[in-house]
Homo-oligomer: A and B are copies of this chain.
Amino acid sequence: MADLFIGIETGGTKVVAGIARVGSGQPEVVAPPIVVPTTAEPGRMLDGLFERISATPGFAEVAAAGIGSFGPVDLERGSILPTPKPGWSGFPLLAEVRRRLDVPIVLDTDVNAAGLAEWRWGAARGASVAVYLTVGTGIGGGLLVDGVPVHGLLHPEMGHIEVARHPADAFEGACGAHGGCLEGLTAGPAIRARWGESGESLPDDHPAWEMVVWYLGRGLAQIALTVSPEVIVLGGGVMTRSLHGRVGESLAAALGGYVPTPPVTAPRFGSRAGLMGAFALAGMAASR
């Protein structure tokens, strides 16, 4: 038995929606996902998205939907919190999707969603405590306890934890809110601000990566001491440079044997993690 689910991933630059068949294994997309640019008129953007997805085979039989959204999100109300993204502050995303789609829907952060996909079908399968961290244009973290995304007062915002400074580092940090938080020291914009060019153009032996590895190890140590994850899955653009092994060593060095070092692994789904996560959220919606 397999159900048809809609997954929607709302990102900073694009929104992706797809329909997949989900059974006991990982989702099988039934047609190429629809991609639209994230505009300053999210209501009209959704109109365009639904016009197209309603023409996708299987749309009429969809049983549930999941939305993985950029944050910060008010998960109680299903709306976007104040954000620099024009047109999105206060947008009632869940209600606006519900108005266009009459099935059970679950909304969560993109990183909780991606973590859930990794927990169900990927690199964090069955872990009692799993952390998913994306390191790209920003850093976001998701926390899964027994396969349930943790929310609390808001939702985890792991990107902005503080890390001690590398002894040789005088860079002031690139986070608008905190300067030298983990995101302000290691995400894409920090790499560009520090070295004058984007990470994509830097060779593998550039000292930038050693710095990224050092800080990520320090940051993951904070997270490991706080939640004791069984596995940490690191995704996002920066991590496509295959730094996982070195970050794991950096984490072990930062923990210094005080607690066991959790494995640091690449996600199974890579750039598809957001959409796969949305399908995983749809699965939660369907089973409620």
Q: Which residues of A contact B (CB under 8 A)?
A: 72, 127-129, 141, 143, 145-146, 148, 150-158, 160-164, 177-178, 218, 221-230, 256, 258-260, 262
A-B contact pairs, 15 of them (CB 8 A): A72-B259, A129-B150, A129-B151, A143-B226, A151-B228, A153-B228, A156-B225, A157-B259, A161-B226, A162-B164, A162-B222, A178-B256, A222-B222, A226-B227, A227-B227
Contact across chains for A260 and B164 when beta carbons are under 8 A apart: no
Closest partner residue, chain B, to A224 (CB atom): B153
Q: How close is A265's CB to chain B, nearest CB, in angstroms?
A: 14
Closest partner residue, chain B, to A162 (CB atom): B164
Contacts of A162 in B (CB 8 A): 162-164, 218, 221-222
Contacts of A260 in B (CB 8 A): 153-154
Which of B141, B161, B228 meets A150, CB within 8 Å? Answer: B228
In the assembly, what is the distance between CA of A141 and CA of B224, in Å? 13
Contacts of A154 in B (CB 8 A): 228, 259-260
Contact across chains for B151 and A225 when beta carbons are under 8 A apart: no
Contact across chains for B156 and A128 when beta carbons are under 8 A apart: no
Given contacts A154-B260, A161-B225, A177-B258, 5 further A-B contacts (CB under 8 A): A145-B150, A162-B162, A162-B222, A222-B222, A223-B226
Q: How close is A230's CB to chain B, nearest CB, in angstroms?
A: 5
Contacts of A160 in B (CB 8 A): 225, 258-259
Closest partner residue, chain B, to A130 (CB atom): B152
In the assembly, what is the distance between CA of A259 and CA of B145, in Å? 21
Which of A143, A227, A258 has the largest count of B CB atoms less than 10 A from its CB? Answer: A227
In the assembly, what is the distance between CA of A260 and CA of B259, in Å? 30
Closest partner residue, chain B, to A180 (CB atom): B164
Which of B148, B156, B223, B256 meets A228, CB within 8 Å? Answer: B156
Contacts of A145 in B (CB 8 A): 145, 148, 150
